[in-house]
Structure 1
Amino acid sequence: MTAIFKREFKSYFQSFVGCLFIGIILCITGIYVTVYNLLSGYPKISYALSGILFIFIISVPILTMRVLAEERKQKTDQLILTAPISVGKIVAGKFIALGAVFTIPVIIIGIYPLVLSAFGTVSFLETYVSIFAFYLYGLTCIAIGIFLSSLTESQVIAAVISFAVLFGGYVMAGICNIISTTGNFLTKILRAFDIVSRFDNMVEGTLDLKSAVYYISVILLTLFLATQSIQKRRYSVSVKNLKIGAYSSAMVVISIAAAVILNLLVSEIPTKYTAFDVTANKMFSLSEETKDLLGKVEDDITIYVLSNENSQDTTLKKTLEQYEQFSGHVKVSYVDPLVNPKFYTQYTDASVSRNSLIVVSDKRNKVVDYSSVFETSTDYTTYETTTTGYDGEGQITSAISYVTSDNMPKMYILEGHGELAFETDFNDTIAKANIDYESINLLQYDNIPEDAEGIIINAPTSDFSEDDTNKVLDYLQNGGNALIISTWTDADMTNFYKILDYYGISMADGLVLEGAEGAYYQSPFYILPTVESDTVTSSISDSYIFAPYAQGFLLPEEAGDGLSLTPLLSTSDKAYARADVNGTTDYTKQEGDVDGPFTLGVKAVKTNGEAESTAVIYSSENLFTDAADSMVSGTNMKLFAGSLGEMTEETEGIAIPVKSYEENYLTIPQSYIILLSLLITVIIPLAFLAGGFVVWFKRRKA
């Protein structure tokens, strides 16, 4: 087999075909890498690899058309067939030689991500899984080409058949959808010839062993079929030949059946053992919060997907598979709207879109509309909408929590004192925590409503009236819960401070400046506090919190009977509070500044007789804003959810952040773009073509 490999590998570079194949792949790849990665700045090379799959339809027939057909035409196959070596080793040697030729451009492509990483962040694991998928796809096409070349002695016919078969495999997914959008017996058979969908599974960020097994089984099967095709010609016509022919036919049937059975068995293995999420933000993995929730679920849950399974959104489908396989209580069922268009009316009167979900338990149900699964942004200058994030896990986990909860908490957001309104993402977090909320003005109420699980006071800029203060204090003294965010203001906040004083908390005058390096971001006012250990902060214990323009809480040395104070966010002992911060440019500690350390977040639990009140209190009005949250990749949002959870019967809030689609684009200077694009689209491909031409020309002259 080694001799066959050396002979074949050498022949491809003596005949110019090998260099032509390498040059074409590198040139086309270079063009796509230039457009996607160099000019557009995308860090993922998978975009370019997905775009160039068509190249195998043209290049592989050129490479493989002569591998066996030409031997047969020139009768040189008789020398090989009579050699003391098995036909299988002959075919394997030729395949390895062709694979070695293909490996050369793949190795060169594998260098591209290393170069791109010099200009930004590249997810190497995701990138090299994409290259691995590209390599398997190419080897599969080569194996198919070898088999088809064994069927004829004409190179032209071998090339035409290879082109037709590879083109069919390339468009098979579309053909199946044309035949039937709902799927039928014919499309199930045809999808076995769909060689692109398996590639797509892997370049979307999943190391999919099922796809790898499919490609490897196709390679082995086609090489075995090529072996059997040659085997029939190895013996002269005789009775023995008839036996070999019958044996060969039986082996062909057995090998095809074995390949089918292998893939069927592998398809039954749970996805959690065969698909591994390699995306940087774990797009297809369930978070620990979701796993904890599913581990506690005892009710049977059915998630109805309003779509045919074959046309379901692939990202959402992967997420649903994770839920189904992690918990035996979760079942996913597909309902085709074309077959049962009124199915959703059993659960809602509102219209729902295709691919929407209906999460059902014995207690209640919840509709997750497909439009809420993806986060979008609109450029109002062009009115162009872009998908910026994936919220499938967040919406599904929220729905499961909702349909399995024994009761639904109600919270009231107080207004009428210049409070800061929560932005959309934080309102969505309240809703995703399955908390019913309502904004109220205490002027219209005699007291806090009795069904209140908790109240939220978000950064009031004017003081509470004495009447409003008494209503809040009465509620807290009777075991009410509160999330309180204070703000720095010149207004007299005497009554508001009475609410804080109920928990023994006072406020240092002014704003806190952080004096310790590494404990602030750019400005000493932009504090990165120490996150203390507690159930509120359990999901962010190893993360940063961004708390700009915070005041400093002063806690008593001894909390007193019936009062427990647990710091959540703390400054360093080098922090200090400054009363007059207007126009501050000198950040060094000055006379009159109050020494720290300070508490910026605290959980207070106060017992009054049999009533127990829990309050989570923070001193930065910007803490729960989109701008602050984006600085720390969603950990402020998790803190918000944990704080909400502390006021309900849940011991821990559930907040699954939206998983961003937005890329950290590469920043490549124009001069490097020109240089690299010339290198990968012109210089390197031409070097192979020129080298191959020189060798071919010298041999021709000789």
Structure 2
Amino acid sequence: MEKIKKLFQTKDSRKGSYSVAVTAVVIGIVILFNLLVGQLPQKIRQIDISDTNIYEISSKSQKLIKNLENDVTFYVIAEKSSTDDRIKTFISKYVSLSGHLKMEWIDPVLHPSALTKYDTEKNSIVVSCEKTGRQTSISFDDILVTESSYYNTSTSATQFDGDGQLTSAVNYVTNTKEYKAYYTSGHGEAALSSSVTSLMEKSRISTSELNLLTASSIPKDCDLLILNGPTSDLTKDEAKVLSSYLKKGGKVMTLLTYTNKKMPRLNGLLEDYGLKVANGYIADGDRCYQGNYYYLIPNLSVSDDMASGISSNSVLMINSKGMTQTDPARDTISVESFMTTSDSGYAVTEKKQTQGTYILGAASTESVTVKNSSGKKEKKESRLTVFGSNMLIDEQVTQSFSTLENLTLFMNSVTANLDNADNISISPKSLQVTYNTIAHPGIFSILIIFVIPFVVIAGGFVIWFRRRRR
């Protein structure tokens, strides 16, 4: 015993005991800190470090959640242990944003009757609002969007749409108003892409085709009529139908496109509403993409709801027609442009180039008095929205330039036509690996990547060599 006591009375043993005590205190502090952090709300303790910020909840979603008045429940019909961690993490973070949101996991293996009760399939989220009695279902496949490989049968997730799907579902179950948009055909129009129709559905807007050649009038349930890049002109009767529809408070959106045909009736309708289409196509030496004068980066002047979700003003217009403002057919019509070239814009034809500032996007509105279904007079606002190019929403463009706000601007323009509608459409986030590339290195890039590292390495070598000689 005496030998053991002497062993712990040495200088080294005292230092060792001190080190053990300090280590124990540090471990205790770490454990206590983790316990305290674990009690914090998930939205505070969870930091998104994913490459594309897939767990980031957009400002549109936060605004919708903040204004919720009714309780919404998420029934996750899946085995929790086998559910993808990305889905589990996002749902938990989303629900933690409001006391009006609740989540309940239901294992379909243990409770197979849940599939019948909620009229859904396993691996899905049933979003329900008891107050409105509305319910919708989201498949996990709609959140983690997969894509089959061209060379084999394997699949991999390419997009994460948690924010868009959940927010769209909450918006759907807490509102009872639905909207209807028709897109025209019969004049070489481009069909609306799946990306566009998906975003419209997220804002409770269903779409259907309308052939103006066979339609004698615009359907009564039409909240918005879209002409997506007609390449041939309207007939005389079609022009009358559109004009009559607008005069009764209708909403029309036209996206112009390249065509070698003259369009006197369509252009005449636009001119009646204060927008004269310039001859040729628009080039801009000051605001263009990488020196291509026909790839325009317009000046945006949007505000209020039209500015929702737009932060970088990065919109690309390719091969766009341009317009100038002219006197409308009636004094009651007002014109507001929201997208223009710089003053170095040019309308280019084979024969000449005309310099000026050209309108690339505008909306003309008119307050009209019409009779409603009961025969009483009421005031309505007709609205004609015009974009210079339907390449604004072309899927190849929006997918090739993922940072563009083309679809956001388009959807803001769509919902601006609809009473009490907000653009809550949120695009999916890519899960593709992002590579750093330098397509056109400038002086600053060369300085950062080459010059400064070389100077640091050379300086270090000189210091090492001098010390070595001492």
2:300 to 531, 534, 550: 531
Distance 1:521 1:485 in 2: 24
Distance 1:81 1:299 in 2: 70
Q: Report the Cα offset of residue 407 of structure 1.
A: 0.7
Equivalent position of 1:316 in the other structure: 87
Distance 1:372 1:460 in 2: 32
Distance 2:143 2:315 in 1: 26
Distance 2:46 2:7 in 1: 46
The 1:398/1:284 distance shift into structure 2, 3 A limit, reads same
Q: Is the 8 A contact 2:271 2:328 kept in 1?
A: no
Listed one character per residue, the Cα deviations across residues 461-520 of structure 1 (whole Å, up to 9, x for unaligned) are 11122222222222211111122101121112122223323422110001001111x543
* Correspondence 1:274 to 2:45: yes
Distance 1:600 1:462 in 2: 20
**449-458 or 539-548, which moves further after superposition?**
539-548
Listed one character per residue, the Cα deviations across residues 57-88 of structure 1 (whole Å, up to 9, x for unaligned) are xxxxxxxxxxxxxxxxxx99964565484865
Question: Matched residue of 2:47: which SS?
Answer: strand
Look up the equivalent residue of 1:606 and give its one-letter code: E
Distance 1:482 1:526 in 2: 26
Structure 1 residues 253-272: aligned runs within 5 Å: 266-272=37-43
Listed one character per residue, the Cα deviations across residues 84-134 of structure 1 (whole Å, up to 9, x for unaligned) are 8486523257x6xxxxxxxxxxxxxxxxxxxxxxxxxxxxxxxxxxxxxxx
* Correspondence 1:453 to 2:223: yes
* Correspondence 1:382 to 2:311: no
Structure 1 residues 7-156: aligned runs within 5 Å: 79-80=7-8, 83=11, 85=14, 89-91=18-20
Structure 1 residues 500-539: aligned runs within 5 Å: 500-516=270-286, 518-534=287-303, 535-539=305-309
The 1:437/1:536 distance shift into structure 2, 3 A limit, reads same
**442-451 or 402-411, which moves further after superposition?**
442-451
* Correspondence 1:598 to 2:406: no
Listed one character per residue, the Cα deviations across residues 425-476 of structure 1 (whole Å, up to 9, x for unaligned) are 1221111222111112134433111111111110011112222222222221
Q: Is the 8 A contact 2:314 2:403 kept in 1?
A: no
Q: Is the 8 A contact 2:52 2:431 kept in 1?
A: no
Q: TM-score, normalised by structure 1?
A: 0.56
The 1:522/1:374 distance shift into structure 2, 3 A limit, reads farther
Q: Report the Cα offset of residue 264 of structure 1.
A: 5.7
The 1:411/1:527 distance shift into structure 2, 3 A limit, reads same
1:360 to 128, 140, 143: 128
Q: Is the 8 A contact 1:299 1:404 kept in 2?
A: yes
Look up the equivalent residue of 1:289 and give its one-letter code: K
Instruction: Work out the percentage of aligned pairs sharing the same amino acid.
Output: 28
Q: Report the Cα offset of residue 374 of structure 1.
A: 1.7
Q: Report the Cα offset of residue 533 of structure 1.
A: 2.0
Distance 2:15 2:420 in 1: 69
1:403 to 173, 188, 200: 173
1:547 to 309, 312, 317: 317
Q: Is the 8 A contact 1:81 1:87 kept in 2?
A: no
Question: Matched residue of 2:224: which SS?
Answer: strand
Distance 1:666 1:635 in 2: 21
Q: Is the 8 A contact 1:637 1:655 kept in 2?
A: no
The 1:89/1:333 distance shift into structure 2, 3 A limit, reads same
The 1:286/1:81 distance shift into structure 2, 3 A limit, reads farther
Question: Matched residue of 1:482: which SS?
Answer: strand
Q: Is the 8 A contact 1:628 1:636 kept in 2?
A: no
Structure 1 residues 76-475: aligned runs within 5 Å: 79-80=7-8, 83=11, 85=14, 89-91=18-20, 219-220=27-28, 266-348=37-119, 352-354=121-123, 356-362=124-130, 363=132, 364-475=134-245
Distance 1:506 1:322 in 2: 50
Q: Is the 8 A contact 1:477 1:611 kept in 2?
A: no
Q: Is the 8 A contact 1:533 1:541 kept in 2?
A: no
Question: Matched residue of 1:420: which SS?
Answer: coil
The 1:650/1:625 distance shift into structure 2, 3 A limit, reads farther
Q: Is the 8 A contact 2:179 2:205 kept in 1?
A: yes
Q: Report the Cα offset of residue 281 of structure 1.
A: 3.0
Look up the equivalent residue of 2:382 and give its one-letter code: S
Structure 1 or 2: more strand by fraction? 2
How many residues end up aligned between the 2 structures?
Answer: 422
Equivalent position of 1:653 in the other structure: 423
Look up the equivalent residue of 1:469 and give its one-letter code: A
* Correspondence 1:498 to 2:268: yes
Equivalent position of 1:613 in the other structure: 382
Question: Matched residue of 1:495: which SS?
Answer: helix
Listed one character per residue, the Cα deviations across residues 640-686 of structure 1 (whole Å, up to 9, x for unaligned) are 22122112224541221211111222579xxxxxxxxxxxxxxxxxx
Distance 1:288 1:265 in 2: 29
Question: Matched residue of 1:479: which SS?
Answer: coil
Look up the equivalent residue of 1:514 and give its one-letter code: D
* Correspondence 1:625 to 2:394: yes
Q: Is the 8 A contact 1:373 1:391 kept in 2?
A: yes
Distance 1:279 1:492 in 2: 51
The 1:503/1:521 distance shift into structure 2, 3 A limit, reads farther
Structure number with greater Rg is: 1
Look up the equivalent residue of 1:328 and give its one-letter code: G
The 1:496/1:344 distance shift into structure 2, 3 A limit, reads farther
Distance 2:268 2:70 in 1: 45
Distance 2:49 2:279 in 1: 49
Look up the equivalent residue of 1:323 and give its one-letter code: Y
Q: Report the Cα offset of residue 280 of structure 1.
A: 4.6
Distance 2:17 2:207 in 1: 71
Distance 2:209 2:5 in 1: 85
The 1:339/1:494 distance shift into structure 2, 3 A limit, reads same
Question: Matched residue of 1:398: which SS?
Answer: helix
Listed one character per residue, the Cα deviations across residues 537-564 of structure 1 (whole Å, up to 9, x for unaligned) are 3321433101110010111278963222
The 1:345/1:522 distance shift into structure 2, 3 A limit, reads farther
Question: Matched residue of 1:623: which SS?
Answer: helix
Q: Which runs of 5+ in 2 are unaligned?
A: 370-378, 439-470
Question: Matched residue of 1:276: which SS?
Answer: coil
Look up the equivalent residue of 2:28 and give its one-letter code: L
Look up the equivalent residue of 2:388 and give its one-letter code: S
Question: Matched residue of 1:403: which SS?
Answer: helix
The 1:559/1:80 distance shift into structure 2, 3 A limit, reads farther
Q: Is the 8 A contact 2:272 2:329 kept in 1?
A: no
What is the RMSD of the two structures over their aligned residues, measured on CA atoms? Answer: 2.8
Look up the equivalent residue of 2:358 and give its one-letter code: F
Question: Matched residue of 2:293: which SS?
Answer: strand
Q: Is the 8 A contact 1:377 1:388 kept in 2?
A: yes
Q: Which runs of 5+ in 1 are unaligned?
A: 1-74, 96-142, 144-215, 223-258, 581-590, 669-702
Question: Matched residue of 2:343: which SS?
Answer: coil
Listed one character per residue, the Cα deviations across residues 161-191 of structure 1 (whole Å, up to 9, x for unaligned) are xxxxxxxxxxxxxxxxxxxxxxxxxxxxxxx
Look up the equivalent residue of 2:237 and give its one-letter code: D
Distance 2:151 2:81 in 1: 37
Q: Report the Cα offset of residue 312 of structure 1.
A: 3.2
Distance 2:384 2:276 in 1: 14
The 1:415/1:92 distance shift into structure 2, 3 A limit, reads farther
